[in-house]
Amino acid sequence: MERVRLPEVLTLEEVSQYLRLPMETLQRQALQGKLPGRKIENEWRFLKLAIDDWLRSQSSRSTLLQQAEAFADDTSLAELRKTIY
């Protein structure tokens, strides 16, 4: 599998793809100061290094809770559960 090299400064969409989380969740986390980023005019920017540090610093419990929260509004979750089980 070929690794894609990300730029040092990421957009909200790039962080969403990198973390595999919805943009809405990441934007909410950034607005609450839980995710390191800066809003410049109407655009979010994130340092990849800061995102990596943030990932490393999260306790496993809080990470799991945040990931669960990311799927709370996912309308396809019930169908996915049905498929899995």
Q: Tell me the Ramachandran region of residue 38: left when phi exceeds 0, alpha when psi lies from -120 to 50, beta otherwise.
A: beta
How do the domains of the chain map onto residue ranges? 9-84
pLDDT value for 3: 62
pLDDT value for 78: 75
**Token code pair at residue 35:** 């995710």
CB distance 25 to 70 below 8 Å: yes
pLDDT tens digits for range 9-36: 999 999 999 999 999 999 999 999 989 9
Q: Tell me the Ramachandran region of residue 23: left when phi exceeds 0, alpha when psi lies from -120 to 50, beta otherwise.
A: alpha
pLDDT tens digits for range 44-81: 999 999 999 888 886 555 655 666 666 667 777 777 77
